A and B are shown apart, each in its own frame.
Chain A
């Protein structure tokens, strides 16, 4: 009975609750400003890594220089299509160092306009210095979009 009607210390409880609420509000307020990468941006970065790794693998297999050096564009397209995930569209352009397009056939996969319509297109640049004994650099620009 004495405990039930003892009102001493109630203020302490109220203060503790208020203090807790203050801290919770502070954390919640800060959380509003938490910066997490938005999905499309994250996706673009992931696609860049995928694209680079595919080109790097082809280079290590000594296929990349051969495709470019021998102008094997059809084989190049097939190799990229096989190496990239099936839901990734790609478009690769081979330039010389003056900026002239070297590939006379498209090296691409995916519906026309998909790159123009997409807000986030990943782009990877890879340089092939030459083929066999000859130094003749070519700049490969690979664009990627997930369908």
Chain B
């Protein structure tokens, strides 16, 4: 039997095949090992954190620059701040070789269903029924330590105020005197046409009716109810209602209002509506 086993040469091909497979597995493993070892030492998470941090910081620069512009009308503030920001990113992330460059929006853009005319990345249209302030810049980030080049992102900051309408709440009618409240309603959106919902009375820095500053109370709600006995459909939007007292011989039919608002980012918009129709609440 031993002789037969020793002399049996059939089936050696299986051993050779298994050897080949084993060699292939070891070779593939060696390649994988070298790849994993190489990439393991890269600080991927840190790079992602740097990219996210720079992107968030750039957005913050746009916000504070737009806030500055809407309050000081310094049209070069965004360019100046982004130039500084590029240098400061380099210093703050010096170990990574972060280099940030930027380009400012210029000329006519169409966004949010509106025409935005940018100069040095800034745009504003005020004293209209639909008024807005906007900033727009595109930045490009290189992280030379890891060979990342040309990571590009666009930051936009936007605040829009739409003076929608005015509601009439009659409280008393005696003889020729009519008393009640007029509620001027505004819709305020930010970038992405996201409704701005957290404003307080102090955020409305200007409220004039007929050219005169008015004291008012502020109501906030989502308008889903029809008005004027159903003739005036609901706005189906989050609205701010600035309500002031009215007393006169007739029910008001149209009002001239100027409203200034400053959001939590300190970005300001001033809107104006002439002969704004007043409808029954």
* Known interface pairs A7-B1, A15-B12; A134-B25 also in contact (CB < 8 Å): no
Judge whether A49 and B26 touch: CB under 8 Å.
Answer: no
User: Contact at B60–A130, with CB atoms within 8 Å?
Assistant: yes
Q: Which of A41-67 touch B at CB < 8 Å?
A: 45, 48-49, 52, 56, 59, 62, 65
Find B36's partner among A29, A35, A133, A137 (CB 8 Å cutoff).
Answer: A35
> Counting CB contacts under 8 A, is B114 at the interface?
no
Instruction: Verify if A74 is at the interface (C-beta below 8 Å from B).
Output: no
**In whole angstroms, what is the CA distance A22 to B179 when docked?**
98
List chain B residues, Cβ under 8 A from A22.
15, 18-19, 21-22
Which of B4, B17, B81 is A135 in contact with, Cβ under 8 Å?
B81
- Chain B interface size band reads 35 or more
Q: How far is the CB of A49 from chain B (nearest CB, A)?
A: 6
A130 in contact with B19 (CB, 8 Å): no
User: Chain A 1-31 against B: per-residue CB contact (8 Å), 1 yes, 0 no?
Assistant: 0000001001110011011101101110110
Contact B49 A133 (CB under 8 A): no
Residues of B within 8 A of A7 (CB): 1, 4
**A59-B56 CB under 8 A given contacts A16-B14, A37-B40, A129-B85:** yes
Query: Chain B: which residue is nearest A133 at the CB level?
Result: B68
Q: Quick one: given A62-B264, A133-B64, are A30 and B29 in contact (CB under 8 Å)? A: yes
Residues A29 and B46 in contact in the complex (CB < 8 Å), given A11-B8, A52-B53, A135-B64: no
CB distance from A119 to the nearest CB of B (A): 17
Question: In the complex, A146 Cα to B26 Cα: how many Å?
Answer: 39
Q: Of B21, B26, B52, B265, which is within 8 A of A29 by CB?
A: B26
Contacts of B231-281 to chain A: CB distance below 8 A: 264-266
**Among A11, A16, A25, A29, which residue has its beta carbon within 8 angstroms of that of B10?**
A11
Given the complex, which residues of A lie within 8 Å of B264, measured CB to CB? 62
**Which residues 1-36 of B have a CB within 8 angstroms of A?**
1, 4-5, 8, 10-12, 14-15, 17-19, 21-23, 25-26, 29-30, 33, 36
Q: List 18 A-B contacts (CB under 8 A).
A: A11-B11, A12-B11, A15-B14, A16-B14, A23-B18, A23-B21, A23-B22, A29-B29, A59-B56, A125-B50, A125-B93, A128-B57, A130-B60, A132-B67, A133-B67, A135-B61, A137-B85, A139-B92
**Residues of B bordering A, CB below 8 Å:** 1, 4-5, 8, 10-12, 14-15, 17-19, 21-23, 25-26, 29-30, 33, 36-37, 40, 45-46, 49-50, 52-54, 56-57, 60-61, 64-65, 67-68, 71-72, 80-81, 84-85, 88-89, 91-93, 264-266
Q: Which residues of A contact B (CB under 8 A)?
A: 7, 10-12, 15-16, 18-20, 22-23, 25-27, 29-30, 33, 35, 37, 45, 48-49, 52, 56, 59, 62, 65, 97, 124-135, 137, 139
